[in-house]
A and B are shown apart, each in its own frame.
Chain A
Amino acid sequence: MSRKFLETESPAWVTEGLITEAQRARLLARYPPEAVQAVGLLPLLGSILVGLSALSVVAANWQSLPTTMRLGLLLGSLLAAYTGGEYFLRRGNRRLGHGLLGLGLVAFGTSIILTSQLYQLVGYDVSGLLAWVVAGVLLSYLYDSQPLTLLPILIGAAVQTYCTQALGTFSYATMGLVALGSGYRWWRRPDTLVASLLAIGLLWQAALWVALSHAKITWFFIPAMLIYAAGDWHRDRPGARALQSPPLVAAYLFALGLALFGETDQYAGLLRPPVLAYLGALAAVLAISVGGKRMQGRLSSLPDWLLLLPGFYLPGGLPLAIATLVVLYAHAGSMLARAHRSGNAEQLTLGAVLFIVATMVAYFKLTWAFLDKSLFFLIGGVLLLSLSWYLRRRNAQRLAASVAAVAVAPLPTPENGLDN
């Protein structure tokens, strides 16, 4: 809640008798104006500028510096960053300390790259940069810090990109280090941001693997759904959902693409991996996912898997498009039903949006060819307006019911308020 919000809203609270004038004054005193904080940023900004100037002096003269001096500069900045980080941590300044430790890790990667360049040395596998990922994962275990946990995930994605693009091989070691190392780090201390970034980083690596191996792109969903299934086994619900969202978004976009472009057999042909191998792998992942859902009592989220139905094995053309649309409708419907049962407003909105998207795709797909164009747009607009009116009304009713329930029930405790 911002101070500005507090300033504009609190007079109304006083008039409504929610709080007294004295309480309002205390609340305002609790959150001082932000100008003071902005002034506090100036030293940081100043030191960044000074640092940048030093960096540009070194960068401009880099090639004319003697070899030993260049090596010394690299190692010196690495040691300085780590020592500084350790110093500030000991003094209790966690944020600055962790920031400097992260800088040290970045300096390590830079040192590997620039030292290879110093000797014009070519490495033919990723082992040189793999050490960077290893160091990052180890460092993330040493400290309880979100940025230091995010760093090895980003480094892993970067190293894998370099490895596949420049060296033409896929580094399974990098993938394994991020999935197991950073994954286990997250498992022990769940965090939604780390979960999302972990899932996105691993999906990126999986996509690189598919592109490099010239495999059918549907194979991408085996590792992607493995990430999803891992979320099913985790106790922490928000963290698990954050881990599962990126694979689900990918699966949804894929299904949407299939509904839009699946008619041409040429596109569908690109998607068909060997039936037994693909379905076997998918079923195995599904089994893992169902096991986790049952264990954590989340079987209600099973309809997520509707998006993974391998409709692309159907003959291309209208049957495929219609089958995909049915799946999209079933998915949106299941989400709406779940949201109505749990009274989750966010999920309700998402379900409504997905429902409208499915309707629009269906409408465009099925009526574009034979409807007069002005009639086409008119009906489409009316359909959209009425659907949004209907869904909004349902939402409003639903939310009004839940607000009434809260008003009748005793005031929620802080634990209840935070639990979502």
Chain B
Amino acid sequence: MQTRSNPSHRLLLRLLVAAQVLYVLGVAGAGYATTAYGQHITLATSPVDLHSLQYESFVRLHYTAAEVPLTAWRSPTPPRRRQAVYVLLATGPDSLATVAGVYEATPHPAAGQAVLRGWVTEVYARSLGLRYNLERYYVPGSSPLRLGKTSPPLRVQVSIAPWGQARIESVRLLKP
């Protein structure tokens, strides 16, 4: 039975720990790279409840793109709850992205279009509820949202990396 660590064990542990540190740095690097090399789109939200900031460090964003008509569904099989989907977004003249279609497999975006991945939360009679996993916004200490008292609608800038990861880049108030 191994009671004390011997040098070869120590070396293996060090390698394992080094790999873990590199991995965490890699996650951080992916965050930077998503902004640097990603496609930038802007999503609109409905008014956000800021009261939750008193006891939580994040706010819940409700995107207008989170509910799409069932006519945007582009697949022969009907949508199911919790299904992973690809949302084709078209960027309008005001740089706001609108949903052009919801696909089961990766669509090929044309110029001025972007693909954001999401999940079906609910299937209604005429529409689909979607979730992008971008709903939680951890508000930095310096954000103007921390000073706000009312519930403003927001513009959320999202960058989508070529390999599919996405992150919230910045959030601004529609009317400061």
Residues of B within 8 A of A82 (CB): 13, 17
Inter-chain contact A120/B168, CB cutoff 8 Å: yes
B1 on the A face (CB < 8 A): yes
Q: Could you give, for residues 12-52 of chain B, a 1 whenever the CB lies within 8 Å of some chain A CB and a 0 otherwise?
A: 11001101110111011011101000000000000000000
Inter-chain contact A121/B23, CB cutoff 8 Å: no
Residues of B within 8 A of A212 (CB): 82
Inter-chain contact A86/B10, CB cutoff 8 Å: yes
Shortest distance from the beta carbon of B6 to any chain A beta carbon, whole Å: 10
Contacts A122-B165, A142-B13 given; indicate if A115 touches B133 (C-beta within 8 A).
no
Shortest distance from the beta carbon of A64 to any chain B beta carbon, whole Å: 3
A90 on the B face (CB < 8 A): yes
Partner of B3, one of A92, A123, A139: A92
A342 on the B face (CB < 8 A): no
Inter-chain contact B20/A78, CB cutoff 8 Å: yes
Contacts A124-B165, A168-B119 given; indicate if A62 touches B24 (C-beta within 8 A).
no
Inter-chain contact B82/A168, CB cutoff 8 Å: yes
Q: Could you give, for residues 156-177 of chain A, a 1 whenever the CB lies within 8 Å of some chain B CB and a 0 otherwise?
A: 0000000000111100000000
Helix, strand, loop or mixed for chain B's interface?
mixed
Which stretch in B65-73, B89-97, B122-130, B135-143 binds the other chain? Answer: B135-143
| A:137-167 near B, CB below 8 Å | 138-139, 142-144, 166-167
Shortest distance from the beta carbon of A89 to any chain B beta carbon, whole Å: 5
A118 on the B face (CB < 8 A): yes
| A:254-308 near B, CB below 8 Å | none
Residues of A within 8 A of B19 (CB): 135
Q: Which residue, of A63, A86, A212, has the highest number of chain B Cβ atoms within 10 A?
A: A63
Which stretch in A104-112, A224-232, A371-379, A398-406 binds the other chain? Answer: A104-112
Residues of A within 8 A of B138 (CB): 63, 117, 120
A323 on the B face (CB < 8 A): no
Inter-chain contact B27/A135, CB cutoff 8 Å: no
Residues of B within 8 A of A118 (CB): 28, 31
Inter-chain contact B24/A78, CB cutoff 8 Å: yes
B151 on the A face (CB < 8 A): no
Partner of B21, one of A61, A78, A92: A78
Inter-chain contact A128/B27, CB cutoff 8 Å: yes
Distance of A112 Cα from B30 Cα, bound (Å): 12
Residues of A within 8 A of B83 (CB): 168
Residues of B within 8 A of A61 (CB): 141
Contacts A124-B117, A124-B164, A144-B2 given; indicate if A135 touches B140 (C-beta within 8 A).
no
Distance of A349 Cα from B141 Cα, bound (Å): 62
Partner of A115, one of B31, B142, B169: B31
Residues of B within 8 A of A370 (CB): none
Inter-chain contact A122/B167, CB cutoff 8 Å: yes
| B:138-152 near A, CB below 8 Å | 138-142
Distance of A120 Cα from B16 Cα, bound (Å): 27
Residues of B within 8 A of A197 (CB): none
Partner of A122, one of B4, B9, B132: B132
User: Told that A142-B12, A143-B9 touch, could you supply 13 new A-B pairs with CB distance under 8 A?
Assistant: A62-B57, A63-B138, A74-B24, A86-B10, A86-B13, A112-B23, A119-B27, A120-B167, A121-B31, A122-B167, A124-B165, A135-B16, A168-B82
Residues of A within 8 A of B (CB): 61-65, 71, 74-75, 78-79, 82, 86, 89-90, 92, 94, 97, 101, 104, 108, 111-112, 115-124, 128, 131, 135, 138-139, 142-144, 166-169, 212
28 sample A-B contacts, Cβ–Cβ < 8 Å, listed by A number = A63-B57, A63-B141, A64-B141, A64-B142, A71-B24, A75-B24, A75-B25, A78-B21, A90-B5, A115-B24, A115-B28, A116-B27, A117-B138, A119-B30, A119-B31, A119-B32, A121-B27, A122-B133, A122-B166, A131-B20, A138-B16, A142-B13, A143-B9, A144-B1, A144-B2, A168-B83, A168-B119, A212-B82
